[in-house]
A and B are shown apart, each in its own frame.
Chain A
């Protein structure tokens, strides 16, 4: 079956521009997570969605970052006014629930020039 997909696979943008990153979770998975993988910080949790509940945004590094999940499926991570320190690989994962295995997508590599 299909795994977690993310688009685009690579994104190069200029400092100050806004970007949107998309995640399509595995069908039927109610939990969705966004993580960021960068050289300096390693893998960091950003935000968590579970069904129709309010998301846990405790990992978002600044108010320039936001995410939404429409219809309990596709999620979009938006970064406004991008900065060079936002350059990283953004990973999405989904699971059937909080103790279930998280399946990771291939990631979106964001480069801010």
Chain B
């Protein structure tokens, strides 16, 4: 069975600073990896995904993530955040051989302050 750990439940950061949201997963099989964002009072939106190929994945809104198989990590990064990036971010994994249901981490609340 897969599991996802997001090490930080809350990350406060100042505007224009860089940010890294950490995600580690455990799985005995090959996986697909995802980051979703949930803005206040809105639904989940896909930021980026890793299925195969290049381990550096670029997503929307200037976010990127790097798949590290040896460290079983998929950390999300942005070099300069904006107030509008304030949201909750969820890392998720699915078994590449399964029907695609997602296993989510507990989420990280990113709070960008002016």
On A, residues with C-beta under 8 Å from B are 31, 33, 35, 42-45, 48, 50, 56, 59, 91, 93, 95, 97-102, 104-107
Task: Say which one of B20-28, B62-70, B95-103 lies at the interface with A.
Answer: B95-103
Q: A99-B32, A104-B44, A106-B42 are in contact. Are A31 and B107 (CB under 8 A)?
A: no
B53 at the interface (CB under 8 A from A): no
**Please, which residues of chain A bring their CB within 8 A of the CB of B100?**
31, 33, 48, 95, 97-100, 102
- Are A31 and B102 in contact, with the CB atoms below 8 A? no
Q: How far is the CB of B39 from chain A (nearest CB, A)?
A: 12
Extra 18 A-B pairs, beta carbons < 8 Å, given A42-B105, A59-B101, A101-B46: A35-B104, A43-B104, A43-B107, A44-B104, A45-B102, A45-B103, A48-B100, A48-B101, A50-B99, A56-B101, A98-B99, A99-B32, A100-B100, A102-B46, A102-B102, A104-B43, A104-B45, A107-B43
B56 at the interface (CB under 8 A from A): no
Most buried by B among A35, A44, A104, A107: A104
**Please, which residues of chain A bring their CB within 8 A of the CB of B107?**
42-43
Q: How far is the CB of A5 from chain B (nearest CB, A)?
A: 11
Chain B residues bordering chain A, tally (CB within 8 A) = 23
The 30 listed contacts between A and B (C-beta, < 8 Å) are: A31-B100, A33-B101, A33-B102, A42-B104, A42-B106, A43-B90, A43-B102, A43-B104, A44-B104, A45-B101, A45-B102, A45-B103, A48-B99, A48-B101, A59-B101, A91-B43, A95-B100, A97-B100, A98-B94, A98-B98, A98-B99, A98-B100, A99-B32, A99-B51, A99-B96, A99-B100, A102-B46, A102-B100, A102-B102, A104-B43
- Scan residues 63-97 of chain B and give those whose CB is less than 8 A from a CB of chain A: 90, 92, 94, 96
Closest 4 CB pairs of A and B: A98-B100, A43-B104, A104-B44, A45-B101
Output the nearest chain A residue to B49 by Cβ-Cβ distance: A101
**Please, which residues of chain B bring their CB within 8 A of the CB of A50?**
99
